[in-house]
Structure 1
Amino acid sequence: MTSDELTPAAPAHGYTEDSIRSLDWREHIRLRPGMYIGKLGDGSAYDDGIYVLVKEVIDNCIDEHVMGHGRTIDIKISEQRVQVRDYGRGIPLGKVVDVVSKINTGGKYDSKVFQKSVGLNGVGTKAVNALSGYFLVQSVREGLMKSAEFARGQLVQDPKPQKTPQRNGTLVTFQPDDTIFKNYRFIPEYLENQMWNYVYLNAGLIINYNGQKYFSENGLRDLLGRKADVEHLRYPIIHLKGPDIELALSHGNDYGEEYYSFVNGQYTTQGGTHLAAFREAVVKTVQEFYAKANKNKKYDASDIRASIIAAVSVRVQEPVFESQTKTKLGSINMGEDGPTVRGFVLDFVKEELDNFLHKNPATAEALKKRIEQSERERTDMAGVKKLANQRAKKANLHNRKLRDCRLHLGETKEAEKELLTTLFITEGDSASGSITKSRNVELEAVFSLRGKPLNCYGLKKKIVYENEEFNLLQHALNIEEGMDGLRYNRVVVATDADVDGMHIRLLLLTFFLQFFPDLVRNGHVFILETPLFRVRNKKETIYCYNEGEKQAAMRRLGKNPEITRFKGLGEISPDEFGKFIGDNIKLEPVILQSDRSIQQVLTYYMGKNTPDRQQFIIENLRLEKDLVTSDALPVAEVAEADLA
């Protein structure tokens, strides 16, 4: 045997010096956009990448305002393009190109210039630049304007500074790259909520967005006033402010806990250290306050937090977020040699909330009554809950209603798979069968309803445990104890587009809003859109979602194409269904309007038949034949008109 025969054969794809690549900033962002802006999406979810791009640009304007430069921001957002103009100091003219195209370049590393900024990593505007098909930056300082244009992060225009009569400040215009954000769209409700949050957190700031003025005088008190049904709050909003902290809280009648948390003006949708500390501090303070006056009575933490609605905002130096999208705060000190965020929040709430309750005995008494009501409801439900959970445990062993998937939210570190984990809620065996056969068994589960679910409007949560179908759905989602255990990121209502299907949608939305409102608030609930028509010839098949698309498909395919009208999900074959619930899935998010509380929405659509609702139905009434000729909603879609 020769020495050559002893030498192992080289692999087909050798790991050599040629295997090592160095990517420039633009290539890296475009190759791994999820590292910088989270998931891409098409705009149907509030945390999709296109909204992160908008936020990154506005955050820079907010930081200027916080530092005392500029109190107005002008924003225009169309279907394709975003334009943001502030009136701060403007980017230093000699660094305009570098600031938007060189990673780790910016003014926020100097804590003396930007003491408590949202963006500290020098990445935000670079990511926007790299992920935009068109990107323009203009800076005005002392009568001179410097501009630069880019395409997908590459500099295409770099003219010299010119004289201008414009006010100091920075303008950024960009258009997301449609090769990365495919079929994207901006949903107005998401952007409006974003604008309101900015002004709530920066009292005195004016945002002019698409011709509408956004302004707040009372900060987080205004936020709760807009988010809550003020008429049904159990006591007036408690509003407390201190250096680097502001909070507002009250209790209502909704189930669950409703929180809005912020760090340096950033909406931390996933909470973090500051929110955990706030929840802990409220419980401890309330327990100690009433223990002194009520013979050491100690209320349960769940009863104290039940039905709470609250907002908390802190400002810290050099915040540490758990991702570039800054949706969750990590553990951090308030500043150099300062207390931890947890200690800071605990101390502030303990002193200020305790003082407030002592000075306002009427509020303290109303809070006590709300806590004791929650205590009675919890005790009353304990026996029913135990029996229902025993039944659900047995049913889960052979739960015919649930065709589960293999991966669930929180069970894998693969972020993209987590974000796509989906539960389809369907009606009847035929539709359930089609989705079950065509789904991705790794990521998509199916829960089958038996006809129309119970109308639970105005009922107590006890009914969730007494009704077998609701109880099994609750267990399938794993949300009995809150959203932390949610097993699916997307809960998709998949019903027919007829009157019965629309009614089932409305009843399911009522169930979620009545008992698990956080599912809707946190953007987890969607409506599945399926095609109304199939237009095809021997060479091509086109699926159409409205009459306009059908007419366009007929023109494209030419003479006498075959046209099929789908009247129900059960008529769509499993092979076809696979095309509608995969990468090209069309989902309509269920969105609560920011100026309507849950109780107001449910009362309007599910309460007594008021003249206002009657008029709304008359104005939106369409016959079945009109469905294919009009974009107006049929009567059974009344709730969607406001919710989705």
Structure 2
Amino acid sequence: MSENTKYTEDNIRSLDWKEHIRMRPGMYIGKLGDGSSQDDGIYILLKEVIDNSIDEFVMGAGKTIEISVQNQRVIVRDYGRGIPLGKVVDVVSKMNTGGKYDTRAFKKSVGLNGVGTKAVNALSSYFRVESSRDSKSHAAEFEQGELKDEEHLEETSRRRGTKITFIPDELIFKNYKFRNEYIEKMLKNYVYLNPGLTIVFNGEKFYSENGLKDLLGDSIHEDDMLYPILHLKGEDIEVAITHSRSQYSEEYHSFVNGQNTSQGGTHLAAFREAIVKTVREFYGKNYEASDIRKSIVAAISIKVMEPVFESQTKTKLGSTDMGGKLPTVRTYINDFVKRNLDNYLHKNPETAENLQKKILQAERERKDLSGIRKLAKDRAKKASLHNKKLRDCRVHLGDSKHERCLETTLFITEGDSASGSITKSRDVVTQAVFSLKGKPLNSYGLSKKIVYENEEFNLLQAALNIEEGLEDLRYHNIVIATDADVDGMHIRLLLITFFLQFFPELIKENHLYILQTPLFRVRNKKETIYCYSEMERKAAIEKLKGKVEITRFKGLGEISPDEFVHFIGEDIRLDPVMLDKDKSIEEMLSFYMGKNTPDRQEFIIDNLKVELDLVEELGI
């Protein structure tokens, strides 16, 4: 037997807790990422630490949480009960250790797996935990999960509570950067779900008095509401509902035990069903479910005993029971919505009338579209058999049990050469490519009919699988990959207009990005550096010194597949497209693609917050 085929006791080894987490981080925190996406690992680390502080607040201990993020160093300080001093090291470094296994202490908490802070510890180059209680404190410092130092104080004037400091490890998270917009969104959700809690982030206070009503108020402009927000609360459930005047699609924000279940689950399915059932019974009409829910903007939060999630990052609820002696999730939500929504519609005839008008309008539009929709579906079906526009990948967002489902990406490119380069260099497991033929239609002010009439838009809608809403979205990231010139910029605007007009929730839920590609390649005989800005170009010339060759990339088609692999792989740079919460979608669209807008350049930069470094250079 050769050396290579020997299989003995020496081949078997057990990884200790930190080695296992570092070797398989995706099992614990989902995808790694660089901070450009809201569910990248660095935000999951922050969330795991905050969750513990939130659980303290829920138990009635500590009304304020202070958070500081400066560059890569994160500090989270709460004023809860503090970790029992004799267990400070164990709680952050021993698997299956924690207070939440005792359900008397933490009845309906988020983090029941006992892994949270251990994962943060193992995946940080520096981690410090400090607990103060009973006028004493105990602190411990770690590097990559390895205990380096301990400090016991018998006397301290520090207020009780826990303080965690950590720096995510650059060996695990490459070139990462915390984006305050994502952190702020996460913190807002925490305060909406915990009225009375104050979170101070880098000196700014976040607080909510009205829970999910405030969440909806922040996500839909007041002028766009069909009727005032309906806000319902029960012991283990809270709901907020309104309809948009202008939005085509359904929009939901769902939570379980304070966890944002961005992929929904059993509770969201029950909620959507309950709304339809109640409305049908109230009006005594068998309206189509899609007509009732069209343009709805709603939020639901429930509390469940020991919830079961479909993934480690807890983005989709799998539980069918509320726990204890309570009924199933479906029955509980159905009963609550039926009783309260029915009462509300009886007491508010004006809202009931407006809602019925909206449903009838949706019905008319659906019937008007039915013929063209059928034609478009048949056309899309034929095209999908040999769809030259879409080069698909193997894994999709719906494969929630696959550890790479959150990496799924659709690149939207223009022109054969750019599509060819991306297609040849992409990862076929998670990256798909959709090719545009020239500039897409300007959809500003057009009706939904155009999505079916325009072959390109219809095929794009079919590729994303978003006709009926985001529930079956096939890719987590939708990335616009166009040349960094005037034409490329115009195509970006037209695509963003299309999504903003017909599928704004894709942008609201942070699925839409702009691909950054390098402007320059600077190299000598030993090293090549790709530069994304003039500043990076100067730094590269300085670093390489002597005789260097500088290439200016004019378009994506000029970049060979061998080079392109660097820009869409581990080192991918994405700029998220974000909405300005102070403007309605309609206001944005008229600003954005209206007849003429002197403020357009300013709008693109300030309100959509897409970092278009080239705007000035190109004189748009």
Q: TM-score, normalised by structure 2?
A: 0.94
| CA distance 1:337–1:494, change in 2 (3 Å) | same
User: 1:108 aligns to what SS in structure 2?
Assistant: helix
CA shift, 1:636, in A, is 7.7
Identity %: 67
List aligned pairs for 1:12-411, cutoff 5 A. 12-252=4-244, 253-291=246-284, 297-410=285-398
Q: Deviations over 1:546-589 (max 9, x none)?
A: 11111111112212311111121122223222322222222222
Residue 485 of structure 2 is matched in structure 1 by: 498
CA shift, 1:273, in A, is 1.4
| CA distance 1:599–1:78, change in 2 (3 Å) | farther
Residue 521 of structure 2 is matched in structure 1 by: 534
CA shift, 1:409, in A, is 4.1
CA shift, 1:12, in A, is 3.4
**Contact kept? 1:72, 1:208, Cα under 8 Å:** yes
Residue 642 of structure 1 is matched in structure 2 by: none
CA shift, 1:612, in A, is 5.4
CA distance in 1 between partners of 2:51 and 2:556 (Å)? 44
Question: Do structure 1's residue 589 and structure 2's residue 571 form an aligned pair?
Answer: no
Name the stretch that deviates more: 456-465 or 113-122: 113-122
Question: Do structure 1's residue 604 and structure 2's residue 591 form an aligned pair?
Answer: yes
CA shift, 1:412, in A, is 8.9
Query: Residue type of the partner of 1:437?
Result: K
List aligned pairs for 1:419-430, cutoff 5 A. 419-430=406-417
**Contact kept? 1:617, 1:635, Cα under 8 Å:** no
**Contact kept? 2:27, 2:403, Cα under 8 Å:** no
CA shift, 1:123, in A, is 1.2
CA distance in 1 between partners of 2:619 and 2:425 (Å)? 27
Q: Deviations over 1:389-438 (max 9, x none)?
A: 2223333344333333455444695422x333332211222322322333
**Contact kept? 2:270, 2:334, Cα under 8 Å:** yes
| CA distance 1:563–1:614, change in 2 (3 Å) | closer
Q: Deviations over 1:144-163 (max 9, x none)?
A: 22111111111111122242
Query: Residue type of the partner of 1:224?
Result: L
**Contact kept? 1:409, 1:419, Cα under 8 Å:** yes
CA distance in 1 between partners of 2:30 and 2:382 (Å)? 39
CA shift, 1:27, in A, is 1.6
**Contact kept? 1:502, 1:636, Cα under 8 Å:** no
CA distance in 2 between partners of 1:594 and 1:66 (Å)? 29
For structure 2, the residue ranges without an aligned partner over 5 or more in a row are none
| CA distance 1:614–1:571, change in 2 (3 Å) | closer
CA shift, 1:608, in A, is 5.2
Query: Residue type of the partner of 2:337?
Result: V
CA shift, 1:602, in A, is 2.4
**Contact kept? 2:263, 2:471, Cα under 8 Å:** no
Q: Deviations over 1:29-59 (max 9, x none)?
A: 1122111111111111111111111011111
Q: TM-score, normalised by structure 1?
A: 0.91
**Contact kept? 1:193, 1:594, Cα under 8 Å:** no
Number of residue-to-residue matches in the alignment: 616
User: 2:39 aligns to what SS in structure 1?
Assistant: coil
CA distance in 1 between partners of 2:21 and 2:310 (Å)? 18
CA distance in 1 between partners of 2:395 and 2:192 (Å)? 39
CA shift, 1:592, in A, is 2.9
CA distance in 2 between partners of 1:207 and 1:442 (Å)? 40
CA RMSD after TM alignment:
2.4
User: 1:158 aligns to what SS in structure 2?
Assistant: strand
User: 1:393 aligns to what SS in structure 2?
Assistant: helix
| CA distance 1:492–1:69, change in 2 (3 Å) | same
| CA distance 1:312–1:413, change in 2 (3 Å) | closer
CA distance in 2 between partners of 1:614 and 1:406 (Å)? 39
Determine which of 551, 570, 581 is the counterpart of 2:538.
Answer: 551
**Contact kept? 1:227, 1:596, Cα under 8 Å:** no
